[in-house]
């Protein structure tokens, strides 16, 4: 299959590209590399020194018989670039990771909220038009987020809801209450994609992904081919951040009471889920939604995993309940259904103390790289962050 | 009350500005005048020659004791402009019409879909940040559209739904399935505004408006103060278009079977609804939604009104069922609730043959202005319109 990976320089995009290449697919990466700029602007860096994308692709192509190709360009700003890529590469499947992926980034200032929504919504819009123009029968696999749903007091279904209301029935998009301008951008994407499926007959799978954790996949363990692992308050997901805090001996920053419950998955399962979605494309005109996670945990559950795994590794891990910078419920009902991917055959890597201990040992090897100044939450949902605020 | 009207040069914005000024409010108009550019680009013009906004404001200020002020600038592109306006004017209420208002415009090309979503979504986003920075207690009255809901087979509620699901209950945003990229932009706006209310305590009323018809309000009948009335396929709403077709003697272009049912209201009721919303602001943190229409009609119902009123005016009005350029149901359940505005005291102008005959007579006086080439639908939902397509 010819697979275009948008956002192939990222934490998930790069391992996905290698994973699909190994499995015999013809992979082309597109990235505008803007995540590297965003990192620089807010003063954070991945834990492992990250070679350029060009370097990683070169190393991969020297080591394997399945070369990956790459193009640098901006899907949201330059539609002619992405039209050209579609015209030349003619993908059968498009995996779309090319979005600003951080909720705190989108909440630190007007400037970054604007950049997030502009990049994500308009990039996806250009992509839909490129698909219609050149590969109307291709399959879009779009990374959404479980955070689109918010935390309703009713069960969360997979994208659609069988609604009964005043004695009548309909199948409707599941109602959404996103928790940041980042999450809101993903809601807008889903609306646009559902409309394009309905109106143009596009095939799409929206993967509403939970919070991903993990340092490595089989492919990233090779020299120079690791991925962009973040532990900072902006781009670091919660378990990754906790593991780094445990290693450097600062208390885990649990936001508020820590009863916030979400769906989680191992980075290796992200790759497998994308492959499963590609292997059974949505029908023409179908907007298919999968909830992509394997287990539900509260933040305090995760802190417990890190404490226990820390003890195995000789670490005394403390927990600090810091004032919650976000606007979110800290104790709530949460029951979501991730059944579709299981029915396609997903064999999940469930979270164990051993998984976390493995992450801890991996991070211990590069302990000196950690910048402890970028972990504590400074970006608050209710007020502008002076450091990142744009000029008025 | 100090009221900022964004999009005050438009079909509804200008009459609203005068209406609120007459009622003693201190009104400031903001507009980037881009609708005039969009009209020029696609080759359409309002039926009545439209003086510049500056001219109309000058005429108004010479004739009345309540001067309207105005500023030309772009809310979506230049946040410093709108921040400055908020800092200086400090509005109590903001009426937000400053959006690209046409579904066909958003569907004719990638370029115009992009422009629509960029202007509408990012403009509203900048506006929310300006409110937070300068007038966090002000009240936003935002023009949404009934078209955000689509045509579900269940009753349409006012923005929120009391959901019962698997034995549990929640109050959730009403599920939406917009019918164009324009309608999708309004859905994205609603998501962003609801989030800002929930997170920042903003007060907002989302007016999900039906299709507006009518040539005039009390104020627009004064010399040089009429509004931007459109009858073309892009910016002309259906009843306005039918009236013009009746006057110039071309058959009414009913799209498909004409069973498409929507909510409608008289332009004079739009003004009154905005005033009612302003007079009873939403609570701090409340995202309030009103369905703003007074009656439901099918397209064929409207054609019948125009035929009967045409006969009164000596016109023999024919109906032409043209291939539907849109992707929409032509025969469907439709039952929406517009109860909130009635409970605030709205006395609607209901549609009668006499209303339509009045519109016909008003249009007959300027019959020679009509460009009959711009009425027939050429913009199709399923394919790019060559004339408006951007370069590849």
**DSSP one-letter string for A292-360:** E-SEEEEHHHHHHHHHHHHHHTT----EEEEPP-S---SS----B--HHHHHTT-------HHHHHHHH
Q: Report whether B72 contacts B35 (CB < 8 A).
A: no
From residue B134, give the alpha-carbon distance in Å to each of A111, A390, B94.
Answer: 16, 15, 12
Q: Report whether B29 contacts B9 (CB < 8 A).
A: yes
Residue A337 has pLDDT above 80, yes or no: yes
Tell me if chain A has a CB within 8 Å of the CB of B178: yes
Question: With the CA atoms of A221, A225, A227 and A229 taken in that order, what torsion angle do they form, in degrees rounded to the nearest 10?
Answer: 70
Query: What residue has token string 């680009």?
Result: B41
pTM of structure: 0.98
pLDDT at B348: 97
DSSP 3-state of A106: helix
Q: Report whether A15 contacts A217 (CB < 8 A).
A: yes
pLDDT digits (tens, 9 = 90+) for A52-94: 999 999 999 999 999 999 999 999 999 999 999 999 999 999 9
Predicted confidence pLDDT, tens digits, chain B (392 residues) = 999 999 999 999 999 999 999 999 999 999 999 999 999 999 999 999 999 999 999 999 999 999 999 999 999 999 999 999 999 999 999 999 999 999 999 999 999 999 999 999 999 999 999 999 999 999 999 999 999 999 999 999 999 999 999 999 999 999 999 999 999 999 999 999 999 999 999 999 999 999 999 999 999 999 999 999 999 999 999 999 999 999 999 999 999 999 999 999 999 999 999 999 999 999 999 999 999 999 999 999 999 999 999 999 999 999 999 999 999 999 999 999 899 999 999 999 999 999 999 999 999 999 999 999 999 999 999 987 776 665 55
**Could you please report the per-residue DSSP string of A169-199?**
EEEEEPP---SSHHHHHHHHHHHHHHHHHHH
Q: Which of B58, B365, B132, B83 is nearest to B229 (CA)?
A: B365
Using CB atoms, pick whichever of A79, A132, A173 lies closest to residue B175. Answer: A173
Tell me if chain B has a CB within 8 Å of the CB of A116: no
Strand order in the sheet with B261-266: B211-213, B261-266, B295-298
Helices and strands (DSSP H and E) totals, chain A: 13, 14
Residue A134 has pLDDT above 60, yes or no: yes
- Smallest CA–CA distance from B169 into chain A, residue: A154
Tell me if chain A has a CB within 8 Å of the CB of B165: yes
Residue A391 has pLDDT above 70, yes or no: no
Q: Which residues contact A237 (CB under 8 A, 6 or more apart)?
A: A211, A212, A213, A230
pLDDT at B388: 62
pLDDT digits (tens, 9 = 90+) for A236-290: 999 999 999 999 999 999 999 999 999 999 999 999 999 999 999 999 999 999 9
Distance (Å) from the alpha carbon of A130 to chain B's nearest alpha carbon: 9
A:259-278 residues touching chain B, CB 8 A cutoff: none
Distance (Å) from the alpha carbon of A82 to chain B's nearest alpha carbon: 10
CA distance A74 to A35: 12
pLDDT at B390: 57
Phi first, then psi: give them for residue A313, nearest 5 degrees. Answer: -100, 15
CA distance B230 to B238: 10
Marked catalytic residue, from B145, B217, B227, B294: B145
Secondary structure element (H or E) that encloses residue B300, with its range: helix B299-312
Determine the straight-line distance between the first and last CA of chain B, rounded to whole angstroms: 49
Active site residues of A: 145, 182, 186
CA distance A11 to A34: 13
Average pLDDT score over residue span A338-352: 95
Q: Which residues contact B66 (CB under 8 A, 6 or more apart)?
A: B21, B22, B24, B25, B26, B27
CB pairs under 8 A between A and B: 148
Q: Which of B372, B374, B324, B392 is nearest to B109 (CA)?
A: B392
Tell me if chain B has a CB within 8 Å of the CB of A298: no
Residue A386 has pLDDT above 90, yes or no: no
From residue B77, give the alpha-carbon distance in Å to each of A175, A254, A325, B299.
Answer: 30, 38, 29, 37
Residues of B in Cβ contact (< 8 Å) with A191: 176, 178, 184, 187-188
CB atoms A154 and B161 under 8 Å: no
Residue A31 has pLDDT above 60, yes or no: yes
Tell me if chain A has a CB within 8 Å of the CB of B160: no
Q: Report whether A118 contacts A146 (CB < 8 A).
A: no
Tell me if chain B has a CB within 8 Å of the CB of A388: no
Count CB neighbours of A24 within 10 A. Answer: 8
CB atoms B117 and A113 under 8 Å: no
Q: List the Cα angle B216/B218/B220 in 5-degree steps.
A: 55
Tell me if chain A has a CB within 8 Å of the CB of B191: yes
Q: Report whether A370 contacts A250 (CB < 8 A).
A: no
CA distance A264 to B275: 48
B:41-80 residues touching chain A, CB 8 A cutoff: 79-80
CB atoms A195 and B177 under 8 Å: yes
């Amino acid at each position: 299959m010819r697979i275009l990976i948008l956002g192939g320089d990222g934490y998930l995009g790069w391992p996905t590209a290698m994973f699909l290449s190994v499995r015999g697919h013809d992979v082309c990466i597109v990235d505008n590399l803007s995540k590297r700029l965003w990192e620089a602007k807010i003063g954070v860096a991945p834990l492992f020194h990250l070679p350029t994308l060009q370097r990683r692709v070169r190393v991969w192509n020297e080591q394997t018989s399945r070369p990956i190709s790459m193009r640098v360009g901006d899907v949201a700003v330059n539609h002619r670039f992405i039209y050209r890529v579609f015209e030349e590469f003619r993908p059968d499947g498009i995996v779309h990771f090319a979005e600003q992926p951080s909720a705190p980034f989108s909440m630190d200032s007007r400037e970054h909220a604007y950049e997030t929504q502009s990049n994500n919504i308009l990039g996806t819009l250009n992509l839909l038009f490129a698909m219609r123009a050149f590969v109307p029968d291709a399959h879009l696999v779009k990374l959404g987020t479980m955070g689109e749903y918010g935390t309703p007091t009713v069960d969360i279904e997979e994208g659609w809801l069988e609604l009964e209301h005043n004695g009548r029935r309909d199948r409707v998009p599941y109602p959404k209450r996103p928790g940041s301008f980042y999450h809101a951008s993903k809601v807008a994407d889903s609306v646009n994609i559902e409309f394009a499926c309905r109106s143009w007959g596009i095939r799409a799978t929206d993967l509403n992904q939970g919070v991903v954790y993990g340092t490595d996949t089989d492919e990233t363990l090779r020299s120079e081919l690791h991925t962009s692992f973040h532990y900072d308050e902006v781009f670091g997901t919660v378990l990754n951040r906790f593991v780094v805090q445990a290693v450097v001996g600062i208390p885990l920053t649990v936001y508020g009471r820590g009863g916030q419950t979400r769906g989680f998955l191992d980075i290796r399962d992200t790759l497998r889920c994308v492959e499963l979605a590609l292997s059974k494309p949505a029908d023409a005109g179908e907007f298919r939604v999968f909830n992509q996670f394997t287990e539900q945990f509260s933040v305090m559950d995760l802190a417990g995993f890190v404490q226990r795994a820390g003890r195995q590794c000789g670490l005394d891990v403390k927990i600090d309940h810091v004032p919650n910078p976000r606007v979110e419920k800290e104790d709530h009902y949460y029951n979501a259904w991730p059944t579709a991917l299981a029915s396609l055959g997903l064999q999940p890597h469930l979270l164990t103390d051993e998984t976390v201990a493995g992450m801890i040992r991996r991070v211990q090897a590069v302990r000196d790289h950690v910048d402890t100044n970028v972990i504590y939450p400074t970006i608050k949902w209710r007020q502008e962050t002076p450091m990142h605020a744009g000029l008025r």
